[in-house]
Amino acid sequence: MAQIGKDIDLAKSFLEQGQLVGIPTETVYGLAGNALNPESVALIFETKNRPAFDPLILHTSSMDRVSDFVTEFPEKLLTLAEYVWPGPLTLLLPRKSIVPDLVTSGLERVAVRVPKHPLTLALLETLDFPLAAPSANPFGYISPTSPAHVNAQLGEKIPYILDGGPCEVGLESTIVGMEGAEIVIYRLGGLEIAEIEKLIGPVKIKDHSSSNPQAPGLLESHYSPRKPFILGNLKDLIGEHLEKKTDFAVLSFSDYYAEVSAGNQIALSPNKNLHEAAKNLFSAMRKLDEGKSDLILAELMPEEGLGRAINDRLKRAGAK
């Protein structure tokens, strides 16, 4: 298993040797390597079992450093970045040639972000290269929101996980770019659409069900538990499955069900708080996936604020 600790110098030395380290961010844990070293980047794809057509996000410690990697920074996106970074926002910007092809899967734009976590920001400050970091899960599985999640799945393959505790936001960053004068959202995430629109005006949300997704994190089946994951009206689903005598678990927004044993159900936020629900989502999905039941019954959240991004993940978990 990987060593888990708060030693920034140790993390730095592994990264300088070309190895990979689990890093905390406010959204989810990342599997980080030197973004300017193609061998480290290749190791990320191999370790995650990720197809090479799915590009990586470049993480850096400040807005100033972003200009080392991009040729242009449109004004609206600059305004957004100035307000949100460090925070759960990834921007797609035209890349400089210093960024290896492997990072962008050959695309013209590179995804960049300044994450908000004191340990990771301190690490990025002391490194003289940016970090490429996808979520630290095997391709297609649920993203990790704690060091233990990372260790459980990738611990055999990496030497070190920087321990930043549980992730504050719990959903991946919102991915934003421009197409002509239009602001486009490529992935719903931890930064709410309303917040973006308040800062820079109306946006277009890309239809991700297209056969040629710009961001394969939006591939239909993704964030998937191993067990069947069934979305619908929980009262009805529970009634139906009690009758069939299936061994099921329940993932709800706020309610508990008397007819289901306590150990077989998780309410994401008994007080109906969508931030709390987002923070608990992935660990709850993992817990139920690791439990003894044969399948998971779940419901959508209200389609507002972070509920939209949570519902996006729930639908993908349910898609097979």
Q: How many CB atoms lie within 10 A of CB 287?
A: 13
Annotated ligand binding at 173? The verdict is yes
Based on the shown chain and the rule CB under 6 A, indicate whether residue 116 belongs to the binding site for ligand TXA. Answer: no
Q: Reply yes or no: is the peptide bond before residue 24 cis, omega within 30 of 0.
A: no
Degrees to nearest 5, angle at CA 100 with 8 and 37: 40
E strand or H helix that includes residue 298? strand 295-298
Residue 70 has which token pair? 């991009």
| Residue with Cβ nearer Mg ion (107 or 295) | 107
In our burial notation (b when 16+ CB lie closer than 10 A, e otherwise), range 40-52 reads bbebbbebbebee
Q: Which residues pair with 131 in a beta bridge?
A: 34, 59
- Binding map of ligand TXA across residues 186-205, x = CB under 6 A, - = no contact: x-------------------
Based on the shown chain and the rule CB under 6 A, indicate whether residue 120 belongs to the binding site for ligand TXA. Answer: no
Interface with ligand TXA in residues 75-94 (CB under 6 A): 90, 92
Provide the pairing of β-strand 265-267 with 248-252: parallel
Alpha-carbon distance 319 to 214, whole Å? 19
- Binding map of ligand TXA across residues 13-52, x = CB under 6 A, - = no contact: ------------x-xx-x----------------------
Residue nearest ligand TXA (C-beta atom): 217
In the block, which residue shows the tokens 């960049």?
112
- Binding map of ligand TXA across residues 157-176, x = CB under 6 A, - = no contact: ---------------xx-x-
By a kind-dependent CB cut-off of 5 to 8 A, residue 42 interacts, out of Mg ion, ligand TXA, none, with none
The residue from 34, 47, 60, 104 that contacts ligand TXA (CB under 6 A) is 104
Least CB distance to ligand TXA at residue 192 (A): 14
Q: How many CB atoms lie within 10 A of CB 176?
A: 26
Least CB distance to ligand TXA at residue 265 (A): 28
List residues near ligand TXA by CB under 6 A.
25, 27-28, 30, 54-57, 90, 92, 104, 107, 109-111, 113, 115, 133-135, 172-173, 175, 186, 214-217
